[in-house]
Structure 1
Amino acid sequence: MTAILAVEDLSLSFGSVQALRDVTLALAPGEITALVGDNGAGKSTLVRCMSGVHRPESGRILLDGEPVAFRSAEDARHAGIETVHQNLALVEDLTVWQNLFLNRELTRGPFLDRAAMRRRAQEMVSELAVNVPAVGSRVRRLSGGQRQAVAICRAAGFDSRLVIMDEPTASLGVQETERVEHLIRGLRDKGRAVLLISHDFQQVLRLSDQVWVMRSGRCVGGRRTKDTTGEEIVSLVTGALAA
């Protein structure tokens, strides 16, 4: 099966700091892939290369087996790659539907088509079975889990093929974490690829189909989730076990 997105020998440095060193890994369509590693391992830098924020110095990125060179995050979005950042990038004083269509507003002639955006926002929320109040609610009134759901809905609602999620449940309670994990599984069930960055190895084992481990800017190993354990992943992260 051709990977929806792959990186080959990707390297990037910032001054004297080598952030990525010859990283090679692949993301399969219709799967949840986990990316794990300690702080400073290179996970965020790799994700920024995948999503068009950074441009690697060497190596290449392949989309459906073809080399691509994203010049910006907008380029990556046009290619179907969406990212849900830890800060969610939501505007608290705007409504749910306004956040869903932020920078993607629908127009009718020279005017915003507010009715169409509200209608489509309701469809997007309903399709993901998101537990979110009315799309006219302001984001500042939403709980942490509801805000995360809005961000996921925005990422999944515009023909995205790969959704990248950076610590999507880090600040949530048990019940809200369970709801967000349900949304993530729903994306996979709809055929989307998901890249999950998480420090919660139990969550990784619950959700993912494939795990890639980063350490000191390198990808030091990959495992099918069903064939590994939390102890093995920890050993790869710490360097106690060679790939």
Structure 2
Amino acid sequence: MTTPILEVRNVSKSFGQVRALQDVSASVRAGAVTAVLGDNGAGKSTFIKMLSGVHAPDTGEYLVDGEAVRLSSPRQALNLGIATVYQDLALAPLMPIWRNFFLGSEPHKFGFLQARKARQIVVDELAKMGIFLRDPEQPIGTMSGGERQSVAIARAVYFGARVLILDEPTSALGVRQSGVVLRYIVQARERGLGVIFITHNPNHAYPVSDHFVLLERGRTIGDYTKDEITIQELAQQMSGGAELEALQHELRN
């Protein structure tokens, strides 16, 4: 089996007397999606900040390509090809799509902005994600939530991401737009990226993921490949059996 691009082993993190994570392990390989699932308070926020270099673990190992590293900043993570797309996207709604795509990293030649080249890059990169722009000058705020997520994902891929960490990308979206984002996750996987999909929704995670790590109160309560668990079992574990009991009650009545 290939070495994971990114792996954490038995990582723990405390803030004062509060233990946010305890002995959590997870990994992601090229061309695979690892879903990290948990409800509110499960430790997902701390976990994603640790993966992206915001917080260093107190104990445990963080490995890239099998080599132990210690991240000191998100910039260091980016330099290693680990990009994070947060739930509250870092986008400027009134700025054109192409400006949001580059955000200060636009192509220049002899000190001059190559605006035409930049716009064409954005059109080409979004087309690879299945979005065909009529006008890259369009303010990004006029795009749907799913399309804005796709711009953030395409931007990360263009700037060299090998691992894409997605923070609840479907949580504020309706059914149709969630489907759009899930399609982009599959496309990122097919392009050979390792994807870590942080979510509380097993119905979104299961169709697109290859591996599932379940968190509860900062601990791992399950670690499965897709052939080891069904979507019903995944939902049952996340709900502590409440969903199954409710279904059985409904059937009895």
What TM-score, normalized by structure 2, do the two folds share?
0.89
> Partner of 1:191: helix, strand, or coil?
coil
Alignment deviations for residues 81-140 of structure 1 (CA, whole Å, 9 cap, x no partner)? 111111111111211111110132322233332222112112211122225552111112
Q: How many residues align?
A: 240
Which amino acid is the alignment partner of residue 88 of structure 2? N
Q: Tell me by how many angstroms 1:8 deviates.
A: 1.2
How far 1:194 moved relative to its partner? Answer: 0.8
After TM superposition, the structure 1 stretch with the greater mean CA deviation from structure 2, 125-134 or 158-167, is 125-134
1:165-220 Cα offsets, whole Å, 9 max, x none, are 11112222222222221111111111111111112211111111100011111122
The corresponding residue for 2:226 is 225
* Runs (5+) with no aligned partner, structure 1: none
CA distance in 2, matches of 1:20, 1:224: 22
The separation in 2 between residues aligned to 1:150 and 1:34, in whole angstroms, is 21
Q: How far apart, in 2, do the equivalents of 1:100 and 1:56 lie? A: 31
The equivalent residue for 1:82 is 83
Please give the secondary structure, in 2, of the residue aligned with 1:150: helix
CA-based RMSD: 1.6
2:39 and 2:46 mapped to 1: Cα distance?
A: 13
Asked if the contact 2:147/2:180 (under 8 Å) is kept, the reply is no
Distance in 2, matches of 1:157 and 1:146, equals: 16
Partner of 1:38: 39
Please show how residues 165-184 of structure 1 align to structure 2 within 5 Å: 165-184=166-185
Native 8 Å contact 2:164 2:195 kept in 1:
yes
Q: Which residue of 2 aligns with 1:136?
A: 137
Counterpart contact for 1:132–1:146, Cα < 8 Å: no
Confirm or deny that 1:151 pairs with 2:152.
yes
Partner in structure 2 of residue 215 of structure 1: 216
Mapping for residues 163-202 of structure 1, pairs under 5 Å: 163-202=164-203
Q: Distance in 2 between matches of 1:103 and 1:33?
A: 31
Q: Secondary structure at the match of 2:183?
A: helix
The one-letter amino acid paired with 1:205 is Y
**8 A Cα contact 1:131 1:146, kept in partner:** no
Greater displacement, 20-29 / 93-102:
20-29
| Partner Cα distance (1:165, 1:182) in 2 | 13
Partner of 2:26: 25
Alignment check: 8 A CA contact 2:107 2:118 kept: yes
Give the equivalent residue in structure 1 for 2:96: 95
Change over 3 Å in CA distance of 1:38–1:97 after alignment to 2: same
CA contact (8 A) 2:6 2:29 kept: yes
- Displacement of 1:226 after TM fit? 2.8
Contact 2:10 2:23 in 1 (8 A): yes
Matched, 1:67 2:68: yes
Matched letter for residue 157 of structure 1: Y
Q: Percent identity?
A: 37
Contact conserved, 1:42 with 1:215, CA < 8 A, in 2? yes
The offset of 1:237, in angstroms, is 3.2
| Paired residues of 1:132 and 1:150 also in contact (CA < 8 A) | no
Q: Given that residues 188 and 194 in structure 1 are in contact (C-alpha distance below 8 angstroms), is that contact kept between their aligned partners in structure 2?
A: yes
For residues 21 and 220 of structure 2, the distance between their equivalents in structure 1, rounded to whole angstroms, comes to 9
Is the contact between residue 87 and residue 169 of structure 2 (CA under 8 Å) also seen in structure 1?
Answer: yes
Q: Deviations over 1:56-81 (max 9, x none)?
A: 11112000000112211111111111
Q: 5+ residue gaps in structure 2?
A: 242-253
